[in-house]
Structure 1
Amino acid sequence: MSATASLTAKRLKLRHYLLIGALMIAAAAAILLWMGRNPICTCGTIKLWVGETNSSDNSQHIADWYTLSHIIHGFLFYGLLWLVARRTPIGARLLIAILIEASWEIFENTDMVINRYREATIALGYVGDSVLNSVSDILFMVIGFFFAARAPIWLTVVLAIFFELLAAWVIRDNLTLNVLMLLYPLDAVKAWQGAM
């Protein structure tokens, strides 16, 4: 097989993985709709960015401050899957990452998790994500995954730290604090987050 034919075969293979990934994301969207999630914000508009976390628009549009966490998910999934399954084709590892992220988006939008966010975090009025936001979160994870696959490790780590510090500074929340407050809520952290 010539080098060109081999490259074409790899591209076709990656296209197949991407098609399967798109179908997985569509299936997650269908499940979220079946669960009763709103397709888009109930305000009836679609915004590219929402910077206000204490509003009914948060987690309803394409991107918000929590988008940074989903990009970091992509970094983490790429790194972990590289460690445990580096001989597995990158397309297959991407599908595993999409499965994990899509499963989280579905689980995150159950009444149990929505109520947990309301009880344990500063997200008192959280009503769950719109389907648009959940799909966007998965796609941002994919962007993070591909970035980590191409960028030097040091750059990915620096960017993840920067995203965490930026979100903590601007909205007093980030991936680390979100996980902490969901699993082991601390009153001092909740008070600090609520002092915005």
Structure 2
Amino acid sequence: MAKGGSGRISLALTPFSVAIVALTAAVLYLMNRPPICTCGRIDLWVGSASSPRTSQMLADWYSLSHIVHGFLFYGALWLLLRRWSPEHRFALAVSVESFWELVENSPLVIHRYRSVTAAIGYTGDSIVNSVSDIVMMAVGFFLARRLPLWASIAAVVALELVPLYEIRDNLSLNILMLLHPSAAIRAWQAGG
């Protein structure tokens, strides 16, 4: 993505961003989200999209979509708020991603995922997974800040194609199925 501003810019988590993530974790706790997987473990990776541990551990195939969020937020905020410093755009991206984690774990959206997407057994995220998803977005934002535009585009395409091949799902299909469900896509995702 194009670089805004000049000089060396640090995108380390600012105190504001850390506070937003901590507040998000606290609100998720008040929403009765489990702090960790109810299985009592914290694993680094869950490789099966249909596992009951998906969205419970630190990372899974859906973590890649949160990295894509970071690339997309960086690009959109660079275009729309170019006069803002990268730190301010980053803080806004963290805020938006944190808000999404709250919405995604609301009973309404959990029910929507279960009823119209391939995530039939989805019960919402653990708090550790939600915080990890925000960190994944930050990784994507940081990469978009550092990589040339062509590499950012290639990364987003790869981050969409790999899970599409491996688990028949990605950010694009996830959005499509939430907003305009397709029985044919759902059957294809289920292996039919």
Structure 2 residue 26 is the aligned partner of structure 1 residue 46: no
Deviations 1:15-61 (A, max 9, x none): 6x611101110000000000000000000000000001111100000
Structure 2 residue 176 is the aligned partner of structure 1 residue 180: yes
Structure 2 residue 45 is the aligned partner of structure 1 residue 69: no
Relative CO higher for 1 or 2, CA cutoff 8 Å, sep ≥ 6?
2
Aligned to 2:56: 60
**Pairwise CA distance, 1:113:** 0.2
User: Partners in 2 of 1:163 and 1:95 — Cα distance?
Assistant: 23
Structure 2 residue 88 is the aligned partner of structure 1 residue 92: yes
Runs of 4+ in structure 1 off by over 4 angstroms are none
User: Partners in 2 of 1:47 and 1:124 — Cα distance?
Assistant: 22
Q: SS of the residue aligned with 2:181? A: coil
- For structure 1, the 5+ residue unaligned runs are 1-6
Note the aligned Cα RMSD (angstroms): 1.5
Which of 20, 26, 32 does residue 30 from structure 1 map onto? Answer: 26
Aligned to 2:121: 125
Aligned to 1:103: 99
User: Partners in 2 of 1:83 and 1:170 — Cα distance?
Assistant: 32
User: Partners in 2 of 1:116 and 1:24 — Cα distance?
Assistant: 26
Deviations 1:155-180 (A, max 9, x none): 01001101111000000000000000
- How does the TM-score come out when normalised to structure 2? 0.93
More helix by share: 1
User: Partners in 2 of 1:157 and 1:178 — Cα distance?
Assistant: 19
The structure whose Rg is larger is 1
AA partner of residue 61 (structure 2): W
AA partner of residue 23 (structure 1): A
- How does the TM-score come out when normalised to structure 1? 0.92
Alignment size in residue pairs: 186
AA partner of residue 87 (structure 2): G
